Amino acid sequence: MGLAGGEVTVTALTHRGAVRPANEDAVVMGALTIASANMTLPVRCVLPVSEPVILAVADGLGGHAAGEIASEHAVHRMAEMSPRLASPDDVDVLLKNIDEEIKDHATQHAEFSGMGTTVAGMLLNADGNFWFNVGDSRTYRLEGTRLRQLSQDDSPPLPPSEDGKPVTTNFITQSLGGSGATAMVPHVGRDHEPDPGTWLMCSDGLSDLVALEDMERIIAEAGSDEAAVHALWQAAMEASGRDNISILLARRI
């Protein structure tokens, strides 16, 4: 079926991990949002693309409560605006508005000073497939058995790994609400590959702990999207689970 219609199958899981007391991540799938959840099994939904569909993960920053509020606000606003997002410019404007709203909330409530959230996702509509991100949450396109990162990390370059394990940092250069006086500039681009398309979106609770080639192997060996998402979550938990973990696996057909 052509871009004008079709549907997208989305499999999602979000969990606090093995260490953190709460889950400050949130996810959005069209009009659906999941926030502050502690899922041990993924959910699967099928959404028509007869109107625009936004899919994203958000990783809240700023400590317990503050990060939760920022990520939940971001996904609720994206869900609210999803049917009206006709272009990548619309996504850019929406993310800038969310940034201002989170900053305003922090200004009015001193205990939430510095709150923010990353975001990474896809907009699927009649004109094509568009990726976007702010911060270090990621969107990958699945090409055969390989994952190709579409999003652009807002983090400083890292030294090469000496032991083969992923090298990570907790420092990011911008987020929604948490960039201070610096102007927040979203990354938004078109996925030029033709449909059907498959994308993996995740918070750094997965990508920091599980090497890219291991993620590729897990997806390739899984018998279903539910099995793949569950196995990715298990791999992050086995690699310490030191952060909240959110995963979306989406297939547009």
The secondary structure of 116-150 as a DSSP string is EEEEEEEEEETTEEEEEEESS-EEEEEETTEEEE-
Report DSSP state, residue 252.
E
CA–CA separation, 13 and 18 (whole Å): 15
- Lowest average pLDDT, out of 31-40, 113-122, 135-144, 168-177, goes to 168-177
Q: What is the mean pLDDT of residues 33-37?
A: 96
CA–CA separation, 245 and 81 (whole Å): 25
Smallest Cα–Cα separation from 121: which of 193, 29, 208, 210?
29
Is the model's pLDDT at 240 over the cut of 60?
yes
Mean predicted lDDT score pLDDT of the chain: 92
The total of other beta-carbon atoms located within 10 Å of residue 227's CB is: 15
Phi, psi (rounded to 5 degrees) for 11? -115, 130
Phi, psi (rounded to 5 degrees) for 117? -155, 145
- pLDDT of the residue at 2: 43
**pLDDT confidence band for 1 (50 / 70 / 90):** very low
* Rg of the chain (C-alpha set): 17
- pLDDT of the residue at 4: 57
Is the model's pLDDT at 166 over the cut of 70?
no
Is the model's pLDDT at 170 over the cut of 70?
no
Q: pTM of this prediction?
A: 0.93
**pLDDT confidence band for 156 (50 / 70 / 90):** confident
Smallest Cα–Cα separation from 97: which of 114, 150, 128, 89?
89
Whole-angstrom CA distances from 226 to 94, 185, 246 are 30, 34, 14
The answer to whether the beta carbons of residues 123 and 115 sit under 8 Å apart is: no
Q: Packing angle between helix 225-238 and helix 212-221, nearest 10 degrees?
A: 140
**What DSSP string runs through 50-94?**
SS-EEEEEEEEESSTTHHHHHHHHHHHHHHHHGGG--SHHHHHHH
